[in-house]
Amino acid sequence: MAGFSKRFEVLLGPAQYRKLRETGAARGLSVGALIRDAIDLTYPERKLGSGVEDRLEAVAAMAGLSLPVAEWDVMERESVK
């Protein structure tokens, strides 16, 4: 198993395993390859700065900051200057 370093056990029902085995045979893939492909499609690698999730995380981080902010009327007066 070149390139693979983690092994785990998943229990499947007979119908689930049969579907995977038949699909794999039709595509020329092993059951393991089908499962790895499904994981990659369901949980793609995130690239920094490329997705909506990254922007939402940044906004959430900023919202959690405790910064000194003036009262609204003070900020309005300062913005007119």
71 within some domain: no
* Rounded Cα gap, residues 62 and 81, in angstroms: 27
* pLDDT above 70: percentage of residues in the chain: 90
Number of domains in the chain: 1
- Residue span of the structural domain in which 39 resides: 11-45
C-alpha distances in Å from residue 49, one per residue of 44, 55, 78: 14, 7, 33
For residues 66 and 17, the model is more confident at 17
Cα distance between residue 39 and residue 10, in whole Å: 13
- pLDDT greater at residue 72 or residue 22: 22
More confident: 67 or 25: 25
> Higher pLDDT residue, 62 or 22?
22
Whether pLDDT at 50 is above 80:
no
Higher pLDDT, 47 or 79: 79
Q: Could you tell me if residue 39 is inside a domain?
A: yes
Residue 20 covered by a domain: yes
Q: Is the pTM of this model over 0.75?
A: no
Q: Among candidates 47, 26, 23, which has minimal Cα distance to 34? A: 23
